[in-house]
Amino acid sequence: MPNDDALSAQAVKRLQTEKIIWMATVRPGGRPHLVPVWFVLVEGRIYACIDPDSVKGRNLKENPNISVALEEGKHPLICEGQTGFPPKPWPAAVVGAFLSKYEWDISTDDRYSALIEVTPVKWMSW
């Protein structure tokens, strides 16, 4: 299984165009939690906007480790990383990326009011 510490142009294009990424977090008791989410890639980091009280939100507050993977399984693209919750106001580039990709203004959404920033530690693809 090759490790791509630097993303290829093709991988970046997939991250910019694919709509869903699978997010794996860890519950406090150690059980994994896996869910699909909308996301954007901005300046080499992955962002997702979530409900802060969701299972994934609570998990990430306790344990910032995360894995994300694109939906298409024939050509996997997986990222292991560390998460943070940037405070508002969120970066204009991130808000603009969600507007462009999904026609969704995350800055005005009351339900999905937590922004997750994933800083990649390791990329894998094959």
Q: What pLDDT is attached to residue 94?
A: 98
pTM to 2 decimals? 0.93
Cβ distance 121 to 61 under 8 Å? Answer: no
List, in sequence order, every residue forming a beta bridge with 125; answer none if it has no partner.
77
What residue has token string 């998460």?
Answer: 83
Encode pLDDT of 96-116 as tens digits: 999 999 999 999 999 999 999
Tokens of 44: 């080499």
CATH T-level topology, domain 9-125:
Pnp Oxidase; Chain A (2.30.110)
Q: What are the boundaries of each domain within the chain? A: 9-125
CA distance 115 to 126: 29
Tell me, what's the pLDDT at 2?
42
Cβ atoms 31, 80 nearer than 8 A = no
